[in-house]
Every structure is written in structure tokens, then in C-alpha cells.
A and B are shown apart, each in its own frame.
Chain A
Amino acid sequence: MRVNPNMVPDMLAAIQQSQATLNTALQQVATGKSVSVPSDNPTASAEMVQNTIETADVDQYTQNVSSVLSTVQTADSALSSVVTSLTQAVSLGTEGANGTSSAANQQAIATQVQGLLSSVVSQANMSYQGAYLFGGTASTTTPYTADPSSSSGYTYNGNNDVNSIQVGDQTSIQVNLPGSQIFSNSSNNVLGSLSSLVSALQSGNTTAIGNATTAVSSALNYVSQQRVIYGNTESQLNSQETYLQQETVSLTSQASSLVDVNEAAAATNLSQAETDNNAALAATAKVLPNTLLNYLSVPS
């Protein structure tokens, strides 16, 4: 059979193909990616859409966890101060209720308890990064302001709502307790019981002082219980942070397996492509110039 004498197109095609392979190999080594455009791997590209979004979300959840953690820790330490103040108030109340305590002594104790009350109020009005921690969701309004008409001397300006923050696709964590629940609850009113204690001490009625001290003591127990909620939130946030770290690792490794190139394989491919390209060029250079004319003597 006659053979196609025109080898140029075949050889050009071979050179072009080896150059295309070389380009791909070079690009993969240079970028470290096996998928640069969707057509490189349509399935992986489609999966990467979800991966990109989840990765961004998990990053943000991680930031949310740390910012929420600071908020919760600040609230917890405020409540810790409140507990200390209430403990002092109980011991002062017990001292004042003692029959041996003089009237002047009771007045001095009343002043001290009044100081503790102010301290508790200032803790209740604690803000973190411009947001009041115990005002419910009304975080821009000072939760407790002095109000002589109120029995406790203070009025609550916040609301009873709570905020939950998303720290995972399906996980949101409650991050605040409204002041109305912690400080001015109808059954265990922290501010009310302290005010009563002050009034009782000022009046010098030992029975009233005793009753008021009992009320403060029960408010102390109540606040301690509420602190547990913050403690739980903190531990939830910590475990969520660990989970999110694992999630980041698994998303990164998924992304890597989808679009990243295997460095060793890419380097091998590159050197293989280089060899192929050299071979194609060398063969062309060797074969093309040869014709029968090279071997015929010029007619004399």
C-alpha cells in the first residue's frame, strides 16, 4: 500500500500534542492545582462550590465562637463579682441581725450594704464592646437606672429576650440571660432583697434584718445557679471550637483532594512530558530533511 508521503501534518500534530501535555504538566506544577477551570474536572468543580461556602462559614463560626466566648466570660466574671458582693451582704446582714449590734453599727453596715448594692447594679449594667450584657436583646439601653418609685430603687429598661448565635450549620448557642431573669426576678430579686436589707438595717429591726438576710441568701443561691448556665455555654463553645477545628481540617483536605495536584505525580508528569516533547522534536528534525535526492548524484 502507498504510504502518505506528507509526514509534516502528523509530525506537527505530534509536536503540538506533546507541547499541550507539557503545558498542562507545567501549569499543574506551577499552580499546584489540577483543576483550574470547571472543564478540568466538572464534578470536583461543582463540589468545590459547596466546599468554598462551608469553609467560609466554618471560618466565620470559629471567629464567632471566640468573640462569643469573650462576651460570655465577661458576663460570667460580672456574675462572679455579684456572687462575692452577695456573700458579703449575707455576712454583713447576719452581723446586723445579731442582737449585740449597736444602732450606729447597723447604720454603718447599712452604708456598706448600700455600697454592695451599687456595685451589683454596676455589674448588672456591665457592657462588652458597646453592648449591655444583661439587657436582654435591648443591648443599647442601660439595663438598670435608679428609680426612687421602685421598691428596689432601680427600674429594668431591657427586655426578656435572648440572642442565640450560630456557631455551626445546625448549632446555635444562647449567649445571654436577660437582667430581668438574673437580677430582678419576682421570686429571687437580687436588687430588691439588697434594698430591703438596707432599709431593714437602717430601721434597726433585727427580725426584719434577719428576714432580709435570708432573702439575700436565697438570691445568692439563685445567682449561683444562673452562673451555671454561662458555665455550660462556655463549655459548649469550647467543644464547638474543637469541632470546628476538625471541620476546617476535613474541609481543607476535601478541597485539596478535589482540586490540588499530587506534587510527586505532577513532577513526574512534567519530566515525562518534557522527554516526550524532546523525542517528538528530535524525531522531526531527523526524519523531515531526508529525501531520495540526498543520495542521488547530480546528473553530469
Chain B
Amino acid sequence: MGGLNTTLLVGMQALDATQGAIAATSNNIANANTPGYTREVAQFSENQETDSGTVVSGGGVSLDGLQSVRDELLNLQIQQQTSQQSSVNTQSTTLQQIQNYFSTSSGNDISSELAAFSSSLSQLSAAPTSSGAQQGVLSSGQDLANAFNSTANGLTSAQSYANGQVTQTVAQINSLTSQIAQLNGQLTQSATASNGGGTIEDQRDQLVQQLSALTGISVTQTNDGETITTGNGSPLVMGGQSFTLQTTAGSDGMQQVLDSNGNNITASIQGGTLGGAIQVRDQTVPGILTQLNTLASQFATAFNAAQAQGFDPSGNAGQNFFTVPANAANAASGISVAITDPSLIATSSDGSAGSNGNVANLSAVLTNALPSGQSPAGSYASMVFQVGNAASNATSQSTAIGLNLQQLTNLQGSVSAVSTDEETTNLIRFQTAYEAAARIVSTIQQLNTVTLNMGTSGGY
């Protein structure tokens, strides 16, 4: 059996350990609102018991350390969902902008202008010699060409906005990966690694989550810390080393993303702001733009052909009404009205001024199928559907992933977040423990005094 001093030692160890626990509690309370902070729990363990022949007595307590409470698997899921959400959010933002050009509420979208053009032609059919009706067709033709121009410009500017996002996002990714690599290096040298990482790992997790919002990543734990690659396997961080992505202008003027070896990985990037911006820039917008260009080009060609079938009121053969760039890729942005004189509209089928015979041919262009197989209105309607559907899908996906992410964040919070109520309870618990341990020390001190006085006559 140990002496009084052994017990005193046990009391002092209890004081030390409890004080450490109170320090952890106070740090938890202090960081209750710090983003990325993971609560720390004091880890107590029994000391080796002392064996004094017949009696074996406990050796007291020691504070092994402060354990960060985190769930790495949850973190991985949160990273994946964050990538997806930020990708659909990027797409949704761009599509919301684009769809305004396809909304009838502005009154000068393509469908409103097609309607106005069609009714101006119908009016001309009733009054082929009226200069007002001729001017009406010319003006609404110009409005229609302008509607094509502004819709095409809207799409192109959405595309170049997404292109700007690509460059910016790559720069942010590079900055984050170099910070993560640095923290990886610190973590392997730090003693906290075995206790759930502590502050450094909190910071790294926070950075990795930010990185996952920028692009889809794959994270694996290695002895050197975390290895991070893009979704297709191009390395971003390996241990203490980071690999920078680069951008370079492609043949179409769009920024291409290159990995550290110079390979073009643009097409394989998915998820995150970068994946979303690339999706919008290289798939969504070009898909709609191509259809718009086809429509503009085929419509202008068909209308010009209808003009050529007739004669203007002066008896001259009809000339081109629309000018459309030879390069089909610029058809919608470059379409314009070729004539300025309203009396050049080929209303007449026989060359006499009062004939309206050719107006029917002009009107028919609006209702007959173009070479694409659909009427102008039909082919425009299918574009409206695609844009609306893509925007609505992106929004509903974002909502769905948002709910999922909220659920995961709740789970993560239930593991790692600081509860002030819990910490307050702990504080009371440790306060009591500390008071009790202090009482042991003071009791042993009294006992020591009593024991020392046993040998003196001045005693009892």
C-alpha cells in the first residue's frame, strides 16, 4: 500500500487532468461559432495501479490528450454533394439569365416578333399598295432581326461569363491546393495527428470543402496526409506537394484547363463551379446557339427565296429581304434586314402594283416547315422548352442536393459541432471534480501535518 505521498500524487494528477478538461471545454465554448471547428473531448485514462504486496491500489488518472471528434466518411459525402450543388448552382445562375431572353414578358423576344412579323404580312396582304402596311412589314422584319441579334448576344455573353469563371476558378483552385499541401506537411510532423488532427486538420477539412465547391475531387488518406485528385485522376495535392492547373486559350477562344503535365483535361472536369461553368460554356449554351443560328439562317434563306418568287410594286423582281452572314455560326447574331425602302417588298405575283399574290408565299415561310423539319415557330418553341427545362431542372436539382447537404451537415454537426449546453454541463462536472481533487490535496496536507506531529511531545 502506497503512502500518503502516493495519494497526494493521485490528487495532483486529478487536478491536472481536470484542469486540462476544463481548458478543452473553454476552448470548445470559445470556438462554438468558428466555421470548421471540431469539438475536442478530453481523453482520460487510469494510471498503472500500484502493487504493495497484499493491496493493489489505483494509480490515479492521466489526461492522454484532446481528441477531435470527426467523421471522415461524412466529410467525404459532404464534399461530393458540395461539388454537385455548386455545379448545378453555377448552371442554374447562367440559365436563369439566358431564359429571360426567351421569356415573352419582355415583348421583344423572338416569338413576339415572329407574331408581329406574321401579322404585318397579313395586313400587307389586305392592302398591298398601302405604304403604311409595307413600312409595317419592314419595321417588324427589323425588330425580328434585332430579336435574333439580342438573343444570340445574350447567349454569347453568358458563354463568355462562364469562360471568365473558368479562369478565376482555376486560380482559386491553385491557391487552395497549395495551402492544403502546406497543412498536409505540418500535420505529418505534428503530434496532434493521432488525436483526430486538431486545429490543423480543422483548417485542412475547411479548405478541402472549399476546394470541393470549386471542382469535383477525390480524396484518399495516405501516410503523408491527404492525396487529392480531380474526378478523372489528375493530381492536385500529394502529401506536402501541390500540382497547379493551368488555363490556355483554345482554338475557339475558350479557356482550356491543363493539368500539371500539360494534358487538356477540360472535357473530363465535372462538378463544382468549374465543372458547372464548363458544362454551360461547352454544352448547354452552344447547343441552343447552334439551333438559333440554324433557325436564323434557314428562315432568312426561305424568306429571301419567297421574295425572289415575286415582284415589287414597281414590277422588279424581288430582292433579298434579310442579309445573313455566310458563316452559319454567326447567323443569329448577324442577321439584318437588307432593304431600307419598304416598296421593295415583293408583294406582287404578276408585276402589277395592286397584286398581293406573292404575300401568301412570304407568309407561308412562317408556317411551312424549314429544312430543319419544323416551322420557325415550332423550332423556336422547342428551344424555349429546352432552355426552360434546363433551368427548371438545375433549380430542382439544386433544391434536392441542398436538402441532402443540409441532412449531411446536420449529421456532421451532431458528431462534431459544439453544444454550449453540453459544454456547460461538462464545466459543472469538471468543476465538481476539480473541487473534490483539491479537497484530496488539502486533506492529505492535513494528514501529513498530523502524521509529522505524531513524534513530538507537543502533540496530543
Contacts and interface: CB of A to CB of B under 8 A. Distances in A.
B95 interface: yes
A130 B152 CA distance: 42
Contacts of B122: 57, 60-61, 64, 166
A247 B388 CA distance: 28
Given A2-B415, A37-B388, A41-B388, A68 B126 contact: yes
Contacts of A275: none
B355 A5 contact: no
A167 to B, nearest CB: 9
Contacts of B391: 37-39
B259 to A, nearest CB: 35
B188 interface: no
B350 A161 contact: yes
Given A139-B129, A292-B420, A53 B384 contact: no
Contacts of A238: none
A53 B385 contact: no
Contacts of B448: none
Contacts of B125: 64, 165-166
Contacts of A132: 354
Interface residues of A, number: 57
Contact of A291 (B99, B120, B424): B424
B357 interface: yes
B352 A137 contact: yes
Interface stretch (B15-23, B109-117, B277-285): B109-117
Contact of A296 (B127, B359, B419, B424): B424
Contacts of A293: 420, 424
Interface in A50-64: 50, 52-53, 55-57, 59-61, 63-64
Given A161-B350, A165-B126, A291-B424, A53 B111 contact: yes
B356 A165 contact: yes
Contact of B384 (A46, A60, A159): A46
Interface stretch (A6-14, A100-108, A145-153, A227-235): A6-14
Given A37-B391, A137-B355, A163-B357, A67 B350 contact: no
Contact of B123 (A64, A138, A139, A159): A64
A50 B96 CA distance: 22
Given A45-B102, A60-B119, A67-B126, A159 B388 contact: no
B115 A4 contact: no
B42 interface: no
Interface string A9-38: 110010000000000000000000000111
Contacts of A164: 356-357, 360
B417 to A, nearest CB: 5
Interface stretch (B4-12, B175-183, B326-334, B405-413): B405-413
Interface string B363-396: 1001100000000011011101111110110010
Contact of B118 (A38, A53, A131, A139): A53
B418 interface: yes
A37 B420 contact: no
A163 B313 CA distance: 14
Contacts of A43: 385
A282 interface: no
Residue in A50, A67, A291 whose Cβ sees the most chain B Cβ within 10 Å: A50
B425 interface: yes
Contacts of B116: 56
A135 B354 contact: yes
B309 interface: no
Nearest to A130: B129
A131 B129 contact: yes
A49 interface: yes
B104 A48 contact: yes
A37 B111 CA distance: 14
Contacts of A263: none
A57 to B, nearest CB: 6
B421 interface: yes
A52 to B, nearest CB: 5
Contacts of B389: 39, 42
29 contacts: A4-B417, A6-B417, A9-B406, A37-B103, A37-B391, A38-B99, A38-B388, A39-B387, A39-B388, A39-B389, A40-B388, A42-B384, A42-B392, A45-B102, A49-B381, A52-B111, A52-B115, A53-B115, A57-B115, A64-B122, A64-B126, A129-B130, A130-B129, A132-B354, A137-B348, A139-B354, A140-B129, A161-B355, A292-B424
Interface of B: 95-96, 99-100, 102-105, 111-112, 114-116, 118-120, 122-123, 125-130, 313, 348-350, 352-357, 359-360, 363, 366-367, 377-378, 380-382, 384-389, 391-392, 395, 402, 406, 409-415, 417-422, 424-425, 428
What are the 3 A-B residue pairs with the smallest beta carbon separation, nearest first? A139-B354, A38-B388, A5-B419
Given A60-B120, A60-B123, 16 more contacts: A4-B414, A6-B413, A9-B406, A37-B99, A38-B99, A39-B95, A46-B382, A49-B384, A53-B115, A64-B122, A137-B356, A138-B352, A159-B350, A166-B360, A172-B360, A292-B420
